[in-house]
Amino acid sequence: MKAKLDRGDHFVLIDVREPHEYQICNLKGYLIPVGDLPKRVNELDSSREIVAHCKMGGRSAKAVNFLRRTGFTKVYNLTGGILAWADRIDPKMPKY
């Protein structure tokens, strides 16, 4: 994802964590908690590339699987989640 950002690629970043987690730290993604995704899937454009993330990658993997089952083809999981981002990309990012 860092390379995509550096290149200026256009994609939608969705954060599938809970609002209180988003308040601790975030990557400026569109917040849709994974439990809300089935009723909010219509907010996403299936023609756009989508990257989903959560804290460690588990919830976003579920979100990606759900989106793929509903017809999204360009959807990816940020492996390791925001904790891996903090470890590898932005060590100043708060961890929880």
- Which of 54, 64, 75, 86 is catalytic? The answer is 54
Residue 88 CA to residue 96 CA, distance in Å, equals 16
Residue 22: which of 68, 11, 9, 13 has the closest Cα? 13
Annotation says 25 is catalytic: no
Active site residues: 54
